[in-house]
A and B are shown apart, each in its own frame.
Chain A
Amino acid sequence: MKTLILSATILAVTAGGALAQDVVRMGTEGAYPPYNFINDDGEIDGFERAVGDELCARAELTCEWVTNEWDSIIPNLTSGNYDTIIAGMSITAERDEVIDFTQNYFPPASSLFMGMDEDVDLTSVVVAAQTNTIQAGYIAESGATLLEFATPDETVAAVRNGEADAVFADGDFLLPIAAEDSDLMIIGDPVQLGGGIGLGLRETDTELRETLNVAIQSMKDDGSLNALIIEWFGEDAETF
């Protein structure tokens, strides 16, 4: 069976050619609930899955979902392994120099600190954040000691085992965790970072960006995007 698959691969690889370019490969991380995660059936699920599928339906694109480590998600976009990044990626000026963004499909959300002790001084303790996130960038400049991890889950684990005093991440990721673990609590005030979340694209894919921008706008206009945000993030979530 496996040799069959392999020989079929070689065939597919060499045959190539006339196949349609209408398939858009959607790259996500699959480890950042509720934005995107692998559900119990082993499929990609979450708010971004719902938004992405709806955008593809409206833009009449065939979409295929793939996962990629957060750390290499931009290099693998530029080298063509997939065509979009839809992984809770905030629009920032630094990223915009390397890739392009669509308009945001999620409003600028607040980032929160979560820890075991309410009284820590957030400007001087050890704070965990995920590598290459806007939150990590913010901590690096705040004077606190930054402890970086490859996955969001590891940042929370670092607080639980005492390696870090607090974790700094998107509030929507942290709130469900804090609600279920009596040891963990939200500390300090929310911080506003970034320009909302958009889909990342290669700078050369202007046509795809326009198509997606139109689809996002239509979802904003008819309120279906807000409905999805409320479905996944609760009544209190910020909407458009």
Chain B
Amino acid sequence: MFEFCEDPSTLETFRWFSCYLTNGVHFRFYQSFLTVLFLLAVTAPVALSFGFLGAMASRSHIPPLRWLGKIYTAMVRGVPDIAFFLFFVIALDQGLEWLKHQAVCPDWTDPIRQGANFLVCDAAKIPQNASPQWVHEAYNFAIAVFTFSIVFGAFAANVLFGAMRAVPRAQLETAEAYGMSRRQTFWRILVPQMWIYALPGLSNLWMILIKATPLLFLLGVEDIVYWARELGGSRTSAFQYPHGDWRLWYFLGLLVFYLAMTRVSEIALGRLTTRLSRGQATMAGEDQRKVAA
């Protein structure tokens, strides 16, 4: 990074650290923070849409659709996150490969399961063996995002289902009195008003999602926990920057990062609550009306 980093063993403390903290491994550590933020940025909207679909299905008048919605929320909510993560990632990966295998290698005669091995034909490997490493990493990451979304979507579905029922019945009756159809009532009256009732539940979910991101580590994605442990481990002088066991400091850094994330989220969610309370028949909405009046 800097010219004076040629021979770190001769540097005084400040310069040593400025070289140490800007070497190649540390840049990969910093990148992993972006991975976590990216995971949050993608998972939150995807999980919310899964939740919305789940909630819509759960209150559907068509029984099979309703059962589907109920089963989805009940099943995912009832299984511990980690068990679901470990199971689903392998199942999804093998399921996709199996489907592709059926499609591209219909003439394959060997069994796919040979003892401990799960073997599909080479053309059906996802991703292809010859693909560059980043494709493999992006694929793993995409599966992780999908799994997170399924899990958090189930929780969100339950929150939104409750929020939809919390909108005052009088509002919907008025809509019906105006001659709106079921669909119109849902989209024009129910959905815009339900968010304020969903927000406490959803903001809880967001906080849990932030804290669940280290599960990426379990799924084999090199996230901040992986790098903190890797970089914090003691180094002999075979390395350019030898040091003792510094895991404590690296994990302390993660702690600060997560606390900062939580604080920023609290501020943002607080503002959102104020915004969504406007004109609502809730206590917060009523207070806003009195201040304005």
Given contacts A9-B135, A21-B122, A204-B119, contact A33 B130 (CB under 8 A): no
Return the chain B residue nearest A12 by Cβ.
B135
A31 x B230 contact (CB < 8 A): yes
Interface residues of A in 1-55 (CB under 8 A from B): 2, 5-6, 8-10, 12-13, 16-23, 25, 30-31, 33-34, 38-43
Chain B residues with Cβ below 8 Å from A137 are: none
Select from chain B the residue with minimum beta-carbon distance to A161.
B245
Contact of B134 (CB < 8 Å), options: A5, A39, A69, A157: A5
The answer to whether A40 and B24 touch across the interface, beta carbons within 8 angstroms, is yes
From B235-243, B260-268, B278-286, the one touching the partner chain is B235-243
Given contacts A151-B229, A160-B245, contact A39 B239 (CB under 8 A): yes
Q: Verify B245–A38 contact, CB threshold 8 A.
A: no
Contact present for A38 and B238 (CB under 8 Å):
no
A42 vs B27: C-alpha distance when bound (angstroms): 8
Residue A83 lies at the interface, judged by CB distance under 8 Å to chain B: yes
User: How many angstroms from the CA of A219 to the CA of B204 in the assembled complex?
Assistant: 60
Q: Beta-carbon contacts of B25-63 to A below 8 Å, as 1s and 0s?
A: 101100000000010000000000000000000000000
- CB–CB A75/B237 < 8 A: no
Q: Max chain A CB contacts within 10 Å: which of B27, B131, B239?
A: B131
For A77, give the chain B residue with the smallest CB separation: B117
Closest to A65 in B: B133
Q: Are B233 and A42 in contact (CB under 8 A)?
A: no
Determine if B118 and A180 form an interchain contact, defined as CB atoms under 8 angstroms apart.
no
Contact partners of B136 in chain A: CB under 8 A = 66, 81
Is A40 a contact partner of B233 (Cβ separation < 8 A)? no
Measured CA separation A80–B240 after assembly (Å): 35
**8 Å CB contact of B236 from A31, A33, A38, A41:** A33
Q: Which of A8, A13, A83 contacts B126 (CB 8 A)?
A: A13
Chain A residues with CB below 8 A from B138, complex form: 5-6, 8-9
Known: A19-B131, A42-B24, A42-B28. A9 touches B117 (CB 8 A): no
Q: Tell me the complex Cα distance, A81–B116, Å.
A: 14
Q: How far is the CB of A61 from chain B (nearest CB, A)?
A: 12
Given A9-B139, A66-B133 in contact, is the A19-B128 Cβ separation under 8 Å? yes
Given contacts A12-B128, A16-B126, A78-B117, 7 further A-B contacts (CB under 8 A): A19-B130, A21-B129, A21-B130, A34-B238, A80-B117, A151-B233, A204-B114
Residue contacts A-B, CB under 8 angstroms, 16 given: A5-B134, A9-B142, A13-B139, A19-B131, A22-B130, A40-B23, A42-B23, A42-B28, A62-B130, A72-B220, A76-B220, A78-B117, A80-B119, A157-B234, A202-B117, A202-B119
Chain A interface (Cβ < 8 Å from any Cβ of B)? 2, 5-6, 8-10, 12-13, 16-23, 25, 30-31, 33-34, 38-43, 62, 64-69, 72, 75-76, 78-81, 83, 98, 151, 153-154, 156-157, 160, 176-177, 180, 202-204
